[in-house]
Structure 1
């Protein structure tokens, strides 16, 4: 068996070298970055791992090479490599297990140490928090960067500091505004630029806190410390001192910047401080030079006067004259005295006084001018109070002078006008008033229209003053709006009227061109709207109308009338006969502004209508004559037989004729009563017919009212007895005489009394009341009957309108009609007052004097 020597492949050696290089590099990296303990443990692991790998590799190489240089082929190169890797992996796993066991023990020991250290740290933190968290101190801690703050401790509640963490940093809610702004600025600088601070702040409860800001370990600490009494008092004094120092410096700067001389004296009366205006007034280079040299601004007499009059309770205030730069000037001097000295100020009022006087004269002149204006004006000052008003304003709103002189506020004035019902009713009064009063903040003039409840329309012009206040001007547009509305309505009505007229209308201007025409004009002449459109010359109109009629003179005369230069333009009238059979009446009427209106009336239809009306009128007159003749004839023919019947009935009642049986006597009574009623109706109809015909004349005579009432009472007595009704006459003594138709007046009263007797209940009474005034006499008849329903009151005076419901007898319904006719003939008036269930009262007013001539009835 031959043994062949073969060296390891070069490629395998190279692979081992590649495998070992990263492991050594990993060791170097771990040794440079890991901590000391971990580095040592990792080094041991790598050494064992590399040692095993090296041994296996060496064994593999030794087995591969034979002794004495002879190569024995026991394993192949691949088997050697695989065996080396397996042996190395087993060694590495063993060593890793040993290393992990030792590492676990080390980690448990370190964990125990860390827990002990954490417990100690927590105990120290609790001790520190207990030391910090006292009731007079609170600490706010911010981590670096944006983070939520941490709060430690609390401040006493009496300081006003919030106890809740979320409210504590809202410094503006519990600190004074100045302290809050200064503290927020200091905290921003502390967190942003690590700038420490120490300051004292005031709470809203006037408590003092000391605030310290520090930076430590990348954290910002702000401590709020509630001071004890002594330290708080010291801090308050410090704050007060700083405040007074700033105030004095501010007031010195302010007084030094104004143009009025200001000075301050010590207790001995010497100048201690002056401003620049004082030094300029006494012509000194600097205020210090004035104090050093003691230059006085006022004269000796003025200073002595101030010294005598000025007291701590009553400062000196008066006008003082002095010389400034060679000019006599008047100053308004104010000097205040205190135990430590005095201070004064002088205001140059020379120019102001002249301006004030000029302003007074100007305002007086303007007030007089505005007071004579017919336009209402009201001026309000900067406080919105009424400063001026003219008489037109008083008349417009009808306000009392005491109220206006009290200088009411503008809002108060509007409320007063609204409560009096003089302003328009608005759905949102507050919004409307705020809009009206916004003129005080407006830059431009505001104009509004008010429609008042009394029907007036006002244009309200409100202008704000640059110095405050506003001027209100109320322009009455009622007449203007009314005229404008009426004009617009008139124009529309005229246009509609002209367009709907049956007469043709055309209006031409002085240049001979048509201005307007209506459809009737175009229809009568048979021309189109385009031929008669506005602006068409009369020559074209003449040519368009020429085929409609025979004569050419009409339109030619129209053209001559439009274009002539006569001072007075005469009217033209005439008639056109058209080929169509129409007859047109024309009229040319001059209008203002040198215009001329032509009207054309279709007389054909008018003539036909006139003939028809005449025929109808003749027929009506003939019918009326026939009616009057019929009434008179029938009345006469009825009256004669009725008179005979009544006469024979009365004759049958006489004992000389013979004795009648009871039934015959009853029949005779019925005949007599019916005949009397029928005669009354016939007489009434005849009277009404006479009145309607206009032929009734009144026979005026002078009669005594007392005799008239007695006569009427006697004539109605039988009727009252039959109805079991009594009559009460109420009339003052000495009513005097009346000039009237005695028969007709008596007939009026009898009709009223008969009507009242018919409706009065049995056993009741009716009242006849008579009174008179300077010119008229009044007769009133009242009953206690059922009354007249309201829906029938309008028809009680109608003829043959009978309301027999509730009455004892039914009639023809002519009584009240005759009363109204006779009273009207006397130029009087009849009124009726009735309510259902309350009776009826009829009142007649008759003039007591005679007319100048005999009065004839008119239809």
Structure 2
């Protein structure tokens, strides 16, 4: 049978469709098979997951039947899960208790009726397992007809953990309460800030410090205890601590109760909770610190003023202070303290500068002295240096492990001590070599020092003095050697006056052997008294001889006075008679005289006049030397008075063809003087000048008053005198031109007026006489 092409095409299409349908059916069947297998696997996996899940589902239908896993039966203590809810009460300590079952039944019914979920926790009787039940109305796709689905959780471990957490929470609440009470009762301000750095909690001390009514008011007002510093508020600094998660501590000043107080403020970040803070009042500590620094500075300032060197080392044996004498003694520069020079290095530098003693093993010596820091006792040493310096070094360990080193230059003191010893030996030698008997008594009256003459002068036994007896004992030994033993009391009074009363007192006493002793008590600067004794026996004898001689001189002076009085009468009376008779002869009473007779009479008159003048000079000089020259002083003008004296010698000046230069004025003033005696003194000097000046010579008379003293100068241009000639003239032994007693008499007359006479002369250069009168 043959088919047409069209039929063949139709059949081909049909076969193709059939093949495609068969293939699709096979693919669909394969897909369903795979899906079924996947569903089985998913169901098995879901069942396994439910078995391994921490919660077990329990389906409770409206008729009370239940569906669940055998795991749940094990949790309830049953061998297998019963068919109905009411059978969960297995009795004998299995399943649920009646009360638990009743409560569960009521909750299930309520959920089935109202679809209200419920929760329940229970512990099956006789079991340690804690179960949590969460019930809901089951989804219709899970169980249509209003069944209830209850998920049962085993939270036994969670319950233990919860119990533990409850205990810890209770303990934490107790600790927190105690901590809050402690913070509230703390004497220092404390606070807590939230993450926004705003105050959340403050304690009572904070409230009192800011002056708020209570903590809530302080938090509400955000009352800050700490003032802004450098433009940063306390909240901003707390924010910095939170951002850096690092605590910030600072010392600031704030006002509390009207007083500025120094506070150490700490901000402590607490993670995400906020920032805690507290402030400790360190004002007293700061004040103590200031006082300590002031005391230290004052102490170091005082130490700088001392002449003793002081250096301080800390516990690390480093130099922290050295005053100027210490640096000078050890040759330290000004930067030694700033460089914290170590003790060992200081000793090494001192050795290089020759400031330590010469030792054989210096490292060992240095180690021994470094051990001073560990010693409990004060160390003292003497350091003789190579340059002759002697140092006294004292090391005082300090409680902080440091050391105070004191260095004193004893060179001068040792030199003074040696000088003192020398002086003491010199004093002893001096005491022993004196002629006087010396003894030194202490204020209590005991004999301290004496010289070798003391015992012999008083006639004492030297062994008695070696016992340093008291004054009463010494006086008791002296009394038998006195002419009047009771006079020993006067010696004791002198000793007492010198030692206790600090007064000088003297006395004289006669010994039994005829010697006379003169003693005196002298207070010494050290509080002791010096008794000096001198044997004046020879002086007494000499004094007696002088008294006898003085009496003889007084008698001779009386004879001399009487002689001068008699001689004045005996000399003047004959001269007056001779002169009177010569004048009568010249007047012609006895008749006319020849020319030669007149010459003789004239010569007699001139001789009488000259002799009269010489007698007057001798008498006046004798009276002046004897202090018997009478002066009738009156107020006289110097210039007119001298002028009259000069004019009286005008004839002699003209006869000698001399030139006279008289100088002066009324400015020379007035003086108190005897016109006759002063005129004689000036006249005598003027007569000597006239006699010593050759023809055509010059005489100068100058009257002045320099510096308030009247002065008369008489000078001539004569031949002058040598020193020997001037000395003889002053003694009244002049040459033919300066004869007699003119110069000595003038000097005596001028000195009787309280003035002075000065003679200046040079050979071939003239002579000058200078009279000065007050």
TM norm. shorter chain > 0.5: no
Asked which structure has the greater CA Rg, the reply is 2
**TM-score category (smaller protein):** 0.3 to 0.5
TM-score (norm 1): 0.37
